[in-house]
Amino acid sequence: MAKTASLKIDDKEYPLPVMEGTEGEKAIDTRTLRASSGYIAYDQGYGNTGSCESKITYLDGDNGVLCHRGYPIDQLAQQSDFVETAYLVIYGELPNATQRKEFGLLLRKNAAVETQMQKILEGFPTSASPMAMLSALVSALPAYHAELATNNFEKDLQSFDLAAAIAMSKIRTFVAMIYRYQKGLPFMFPKQELPFCDNFLHMMFSEPYKDYLAMPEVAKALNLVLLLHADHEQNCSTSTVRMVGSSAANLFTSISAGICALSGPLHGGANVAVMQMLQSIHDEGDDGSRFIAAAKSGSKSNRLMGFGHAVYRNFDPRARIIGDACDSVLNKLGVDDPLLAIAKHLEQAALKDDYFVSRKLYPNVDFYSGIIMRAIGIPMNMFTTMFAIGRAPGYIANWREVAMNPKGRIYRPRQIYVGPTKRDYIPMGKRG
């Protein structure tokens, strides 16, 4: 018999269905609560709210577990690459050889950007935030692909494949264009023969008179960084993509909104903030204790960046993988970055401190990702745009779940109104 929970308010009982996910996560379905009782569930910040059922990513924050479509992140990090993991995240299964080839080809074919789009970029001051430019360019995509600016791909899955490839491939091209625009360098066209990461490095670092040939270690490190960002369940930006998508907005528009959400320093912007923190510890010859002491003040603006997570109460498995990779990548590339030693020291100091231990605050993915990105030549102000390239598959997969759910409803949370009660309009002459 199906399990139910029961809520008692005064003397009345309200039965509520109980749900269970495939990994045993339990929930009480409160969808009928307001209609039956007049009460809504209050959950500021949605920390205890399941906003959807999803088949994409499983995350157990208490035990530091992260799986995409059932595959553990450490296995993917060791054996897969970014494009294959992107396919898995978007389509639900690892691709066979033909599917992998076709997906790669679609990404390659859709890497180039319409020349008019350069003008959008050139409308920005070169000092503009790369995330603002990226979101603007992505939000312009429907204008160039009007036939794909729909949320209805159910009868035309090939068009969805094309929209997904355009989003994933062009976000990468946009990031390289933004970098070169800010540096005053000419844009480099993508090369069809190059794999995804090598092509990105080419668009970033080649010159019209000299090709940049990525060392295999560099392309591999980039693959790892992007793969580790591929999806992360209902985080702030992915939930934003789902919310915008639920209004029947198209894929590109929804992703553009997600990129805006990602820019905040508590979310994707943390990878820049971590490096700024490590750099200032280095420049001041500090041992990091100043940042730890400030973080313990409880003020939101002084948090230890790269530490803590809304869901993990244990090590972020991505931080472990990326932390371990730092040593080997820097070694292979012969890079000696003093910020790595500072980060390790800071991590050890925080993990011994009762403030962090008692609150179960551990390093997250952003703590070490910047060190690898710096080692492969990505400038710090571009770090969050790199996160966006990596997260694109997650945005696409989540948007698809929303758009292709025939029972989906527009996302529309309720609130508890605590403002003034009803009052009469006061004409200007009678206001104090």
- Which residues are at the interface with ligand CMC (CB under 6 A)? 235, 266-268, 270, 295, 298, 303-310, 359, 361, 364-366
Q: Which is nearer to ligand CMC, 250 or 364 (CB)?
A: 364
Q: What is the CA radius of gyration of the chain?
A: 23
How far is the C-alpha of 395 from the C-alpha of 239, rounded, in Å? 9
Q: Which is nearer to ligand CMC, 202 or 232 (CB)?
A: 232
Pairing of strands 71-72, 57-60: unpaired
Q: Is 366 a catalytic residue?
A: yes
Question: Among residues 202, 229, 267, 309, which one is catalytic?
Answer: 309
Tokens at 330, concatenated: 């820097």
Pick the closest to residue 26 from 55, 3, 1 (CA basis). 3
- Least Å distance, CB 140 to ligand CMC, is 25
Q: Give φ, ψ of 406 to 5 degrees.
A: -65, -20
Single-letter code of the amino acid located at 133:
M
- Least Å distance, CB 358 to ligand CMC, is 9
- Least Å distance, CB 384 to ligand CMC, is 9
How far is the C-alpha of 171 from the C-alpha of 410, rounded, in Å? 26
Q: Is 232 a catalytic residue?
A: no
Please report how the helices 216-228 and 317-333 are oriented relative to each other, as an axis angle in degrees rounded to 10: 170
How far is the C-alpha of 16 from the C-alpha of 14, rounded, in Å? 6
Tokens at 178, concatenated: 């933004």
Q: Residue 341, Cβ neighbours under 10 Å: how many?
A: 12
Q: Which is nearer to ligand CMC, 244 or 388 (CB)?
A: 388
- Least Å distance, CB 310 to ligand CMC, is 4
Q: Give φ, ψ of 177 to 5 degrees.
A: -65, -40
What is residue 42's DSSP assignment?
Answer: -
Q: Which is nearer to ligand CMC, 231 or 366 (CB)?
A: 366
Q: Which is nearer to ligand CMC, 358 or 421 (CB)?
A: 358
Which DSSP helix (H) or strand (E) runs through 65? strand 65-68
- Least Å distance, CB 386 to ligand CMC, is 12
Q: Where are the alpha helices (DSSP H) in 41-156?
A: 73-79, 82-91, 97-109, 116-122, 130-144
- Least Å distance, CB 343 to ligand CMC, is 13
Q: Which is nearer to ligand CMC, 145 or 391 (CB)?
A: 391
Q: Which residue lies nearest ligand CMC, judged by its C-beta?
A: 308
Active site residues: 309, 366
